Each structure stands twice: as C-alpha cells, then as structure tokens.
Amino acid sequence: MASSDNATEDASVSSPATIDLRAELRETHVQEVLDQLDRELVGLAPVKERIRQICALLVVDRVRRRLGFVAETPTLHMSFTGNPGTGKTTVALRMAEILHKLGCVRKGHLVSVTRDDLVGQYIGHTAPKTKEVLKRAMGGVLFIDEAYYLYRQENERDYGQEAIEILLQVMENQREDLVVILAGYATRMDQFFRSNPGFRSRIAHHIDFPDYGDDELMSIAETMLAAQHYKFSPEGAKAFEAYIATRRRQPLFSNARSIRNALDRARLRHANRYFAQEGPVLIEDLMTIDAADVLTSRVFDAEASS
C-alpha cells in the first residue's frame, strides 16, 4: 500500500506544469488584429507569417516573465523593405496595436515620418526636430519611410548624420518604450545599412514585402470598389485585368497605390459618362464600373505608342 502511495506521489512530482499558449494569445486579443490584417491586405503571406512568428515570440516571452524567468527585453526594431504600395504602412500600424496589446509599448500609436520631419536645414536645427518627433513617438512605434534619405554620403555638410546618432542612442537606451521601423526600397536600404552599421546591429527583424501578382491586384481593386459601393461589370472586370497587365509593364508602378489611383480615375470617367447622357439613370448603373470607364485610360495609349 505504501509503495502505491509513493508511486502516486512520484508521478505527481514528475508531472510538468503546462501553459495553454493559444489561450494566452486569445487573452491579449492579438488574434483580432491579425484577422484584421488579413482582411485589410490581400496576399503578403510571407509578411503575415513573420508577424505571426513575432507574436508567438512575444506571447512566450510574456508568459516566461510572468513565471519569473529572467530574460532581456527582446529587440523589436524592424526594417520593412519593398516597393511602394505593398502595405508597409498598414502593417506598421497593426504592429503598433499588437505590441501594445502584448505590453511591449505603453500607448500603441504610430508616428509616421520622413527625413524632412527629422533633419533640419541649418546648424542647431536637427537635434530639436528629431527629439520632438521621438517625444511624440514614445510609448509607441516610430515609422521612418524612405529611411535611406537620412544619410547623404555625397554631402559632407548634411545634417542627417546628427539625426541618425540621436536615433541610434534612443533605439538602444529606450527600446523598452519605443519601437522604430525603417522602411524603403530593398536595394537602397541595404546600402543604407552598409553605410550605417549601427542601425543594422539594432534591427532584429528584417521583413521584405513582395510585389503583388495580377490576381492579387485584381482582388485589391474589387475590395476597394466594394468599400465604396461600386462593382465591376463582367466587361469592366476584363478591361481592368487588361489594365493591370498593361500598367505593370510601365514605369512608376506602385502596386496597390497605383490601383487606387486607377479606380479614382475610372470613377471620374464613369460619373462624366452618365452626366453626358440625357434622361434618368438606373441606380444599378451608378454602382457599376464598365469597360468604357477603364479602356479610355491613357495607359492603353502609352502601350500602343511604345
């Protein structure tokens, strides 16, 4: 009888305590933000997977701290590289929410800036500008778009280096209260990091945003139209598919940004087409983008003349 009791006691001692990590994630409401990101952005599977991986790390770190395990605060500064219109700003905004829900930043707001917000035009101007931006961003995320413009190697008297030095100091010393995300074209960001190794050493997560495919761009267009209570007619959809294929071959294509601009112009042509007609207009027509609203785009003229 005693040996049986001892066996039971030994089993209870050796049985490990457990943590339900998925329940921990649910309690933070981070999954709601991840779901919102899925709804907002078409595609970007590698980006979304990396965000989920970062969330998993932070949830585990949160549990470990609660259990009394000693660990350094993880470095969360990031680099987002990719062409314009690939969702970098949207992901940064949702990342700020995620970090707030996980207790990594106090406020969870996003402050988005460029070089002009940080670098002054004369001696003594840069430090106050940079410090004011950092003050506004504290407790949240500072998103620096086209960050490579901070450093202009060809100009010996450029004041960007002063802003860089202040940023590096804050990124190291106040990383528990501020996350910095640098963004821009991949090749230029790589050159920027080679010229400023202090930045590379402070960036824990490098996330590349791929260009959208034709099908993804079409899905983005349909989503944008639906949000404004428009839709494509079958012929309009075919015309816009042709528009996407044509526009992508031309210069200065900016992914979702170019799609939004194209839809704005299609709506302009749509409105004027119906204003030019006499008599009443069907309500259904006011909601439908047709081929005529797309095919009159100068994009097709440029393709034909090239």
Burial class (CB in 10 A: 0-12, 13-18, 19+), 102: buried
Query: Domain residue spans in the chain?
Result: 73-209, 214-305
What does the mean pLDDT of the chain come to? 90
pLDDT at 151 over 90: no
Q: Tell me, letter by letter, the H, E, C secondary structure of 232-284.
A: ECHHHHHHHHHHHHHHCCCCCCCCHHHHHHHHHHHHHHHHHHHHCCCCCCCHH
Q: Identify the pLDDT of residue 152.
A: 79
Cα separation, 213 vs 43, in Å, equals 9
**pLDDT tens per residue, range 168-207:** 999 999 988 999 999 999 999 999 999 888 898 899 999 9
Q: From CA 4, how far away is CA 14, in angstroms rounded?
A: 15
Give the C-alpha distances (Å, rounded to integers) separating 296 from 239, 274, 284.
Answer: 10, 15, 21
State what percent of residues in the chain have pLDDT above 70. Answer: 92
- What span, in angstroms and rounded, lies between the C-alpha atoms of 15 and 10? 9
In eight-state DSSP terms, residue 147 is: G
292 within 8 A of 273, measured Cβ to Cβ: yes
Whether pLDDT at 98 is above 60: yes
DSSP 74: P
Closest CA to 221 of 178, 185, 266: 266
pLDDT recorded at residue 5: 55
The Cα-based distances of 73 to 77, 106, 114, 235 in angstroms read 12, 14, 28, 55
Phi-psi region for residue 60, left (φ > 0), alpha (ψ -120 to 50) or beta? alpha
Q: What percent of the chain has pLDDT over 90?
A: 74
**What does DSSP assign to residue 203?**
-
Q: Are 21 and 60 a contacting pair, CB within 8 Å?
A: yes
Query: In the CATH scheme, what architecture does the domain 214-305 have?
Result: Orthogonal Bundle (1.10)
Task: Kindly report, residue by residue over 100-148, the tens digit of the pLDDT.
Answer: 999 999 999 999 999 999 998 888 889 999 999 999 999 999 999 999 9
Looking at residue 14, its pLDDT comes to 46
CATH class of the structural domain 73-209: alpha beta
Q: What is the pLDDT of residues 38-95, one digit of tens each?
A: 998 999 999 999 999 999 999 998 888 888 887 777 889 999 999 999 999 999 999 9
Q: What's the chain's length in residues?
A: 306
pLDDT at residue number 144: 97
pLDDT at position 266 is 97
Cβ(130)–Cβ(163) under 8 Å?
A: yes
pLDDT at 65: 86
Residue 182's CB is within 10 A of a number of other CB atoms, namely 25
- What pLDDT shows up at residue 304? 66
**Domains 73-209 and 214-305 fall in the same CATH topology:** no
Per-residue pLDDT of 226-266, as tens digits, reads 999 999 999 999 999 999 999 999 999 999 999 999 999 99
DSSP 150: G
